[in-house]
Amino acid sequence: LYCAYPTVYLDESRIESYPEDHIGTPERSPWDVIGRRIAEIAGGGRIGVEFSASNFSYADHQALVRVLGDRPLVDGSRVVTKARTRKSAAELSYMRQAGKIVDRALMNGIDRIAEGVRQCDVAAQITHDLIAGTPECGGGPHRPVTMPTGPGVAQAPHLKWTDAPYRVGDQTDFETGAFVHRYCCALSRTAIVGPPSARLLHVHNAVMDGFHGGFDAVRPGATCGDVHRAFMKAFGPHGVRKESRIGYSIGLDWPDLCFSMQDDDETILETDFTFHLIIGIWEREDAYVFSETLRVGETGAESLSSMPRELFIR
């Protein structure tokens, strides 16, 4: 229980707990205790539950229902999400600090790449810098670096590193993020050892045209669908296949599940919304990734990254 005290700004009277013996046993659940407390304070009001929560299992739900009896539960999945969609000045400050950290970490990692250097050593460089941060600000706990590398592997998103050495022709699709006070700024770039093929250069140009098309469409009042359609208008003529979305909201999580950059999401963008605009090509025949974390500014998009927008050749 004590671990909660130094990490929150709440009065001790507002901190609840459940016994250790309610964890890891089929006989009891923390939700037995949580449910009883909810029943005490809810009165006759409605009780909302995040039905879409990734860490709220069916067994957890059953335990809660068992305690609450016939009290109706409504889906509260969007309640907290809506509250965190628009970022405050303090939140944006953390994300900008994280942006400087991830710029430095990814650039230093890419600069380590050379024929014979192990993938794990590149990952270690990035990991070190994500934590060491900048002279002004250190980095917080982060997710492992995504960096699928090599023929037949770079096409697969979310794979990590191996201890294999880089060879000429190896391509890495980097996706990583820095955290400051748990606020995330994500960033992606593609790197290759040796000269790129004509096809890779074509895909790079398609991605950059699409990225700039989507970037230029970002403004208050535009919808997520507007941004996606602007991306496709610039990207589509290149003939490169891409059917996945091009981004999602980001902030106090990665992603923070507020909205998605796809054709049928008509969420209206507002000033100080933040999202990860990621152009990932993960197909059997093509591989490429490029992304930046953006803020919706008063008149257009603001990138939280200053890393060069290029295909890195090492």
pLDDT for 12: 85
Of the residues 57, 77, 97, the one at which a domain ends: 77
Strand partners, 288: 281
Of the residues 34, 58, 77, the one at which a domain ends: 77
Contact 138, 181 (CB under 8 A): no
Tell me, yes or no, whether 283 and 259 share the same domain.
yes
Tell me, yes or no, whether 140 and 57 share the same domain.
no
H helix count then E strand count, the chain: 7, 9
Structure tokens, 35: 């449910």
* Percent of the chain at pLDDT exceeding 70: 99
Structure tokens, 157: 């998103």
Q: What is the CATH number of the domain that holds 251?
A: 3.90.230.10
Residue 130 has pLDDT above 60, yes or no: yes
- Dihedral sign from CA coordinates of 119, 122, 126, 131: positive
Tell me, yes or no, whether 284 and 267 share the same domain.
yes
pLDDT for 278: 98
pLDDT for 7: 83
Of the residues 62, 77, 92, the one at which a domain ends: 77
DSSP reduced 3-state for 134: strand
pLDDT for 247: 97
| Phi-psi label, residue 188: left if phi above 0, alpha if psi -120 to 50, beta otherwise | beta
Tell me, yes or no, whether 11 and 104 share the same domain.
no
pLDDT for 52: 87
Tell me, yes or no, whether 247 and 105 share the same domain.
yes
Tell me, yes or no, whether 298 and 152 share the same domain.
yes
pLDDT for 22: 93
Residue 157 has pLDDT above 60, yes or no: yes
* Percent of the chain at pLDDT exceeding 90: 83
pLDDT in tens, 166-214: 999 999 999 999 999 999 999 999 999 999 999 999 999 999 999 999 9
Residue 292 has pLDDT above 60, yes or no: yes
Q: Please state the domain count of the chain.
A: 2
Helix ranges (H only) for the chain are: 30-42, 58-68, 79-85, 89-112, 119-132, 198-216, 224-235
Residues 5-23, mean pLDDT to the nearest whole number: 87
pTM listed for this prediction: 0.93
Tell me, yes or no, whether 42 and 136 share the same domain.
no
Higher pLDDT, 255 or 228: 228
Tell me, yes or no, whether 280 and 138 share the same domain.
yes
Tell me, yes or no, whether 69 and 92 share the same domain.
no
d(CA 153, CA 62): 41
Confidence band, pLDDT 50/70/90 cuts, at residue 81: confident
Nearest to 84 by CA among 253, 301, 248: 253
- Dihedral sign from CA coordinates of 223, 229, 230, 232: positive
Residue 74 has pLDDT above 90, yes or no: yes
Structure tokens, 237: 């003529």
pLDDT for 282: 93
Query: Where in the sequence is the domain holding 65, given as residue range(s)?
Result: 2-77
Tell me, yes or no, whether 128 and 274 share the same domain.
yes
Residues 150-158, mean pLDDT to the nearest whole number: 92
Tell me, yes or no, whether 227 and 181 share the same domain.
yes
Higher pLDDT, 99 or 78: 99
d(CA 125, CA 146): 13
DSSP reduced 3-state for 308: coil
Q: What's the mean pLDDT when you consider all of the chain? A: 95
pLDDT for 6: 85
Confidence band, pLDDT 50/70/90 cuts, at residue 267: very high
Exposed, middle or buried by CB within 10 Å (0-12, 13-18, 19+), for 181?
A: middle
Structure tokens, 213: 């098309």
pLDDT for 1: 56
Residues 238-243, mean pLDDT to the nearest whole number: 95
Residue 111 has pLDDT above 80, yes or no: yes
Residues 72-88, mean pLDDT to the nearest whole number: 91
Nearest to 94 by CA among 185, 197, 199: 185
Tell me, yes or no, whether 179 and 90 share the same domain.
yes
pLDDT in tens, 89-108: 999 999 999 999 999 999 99
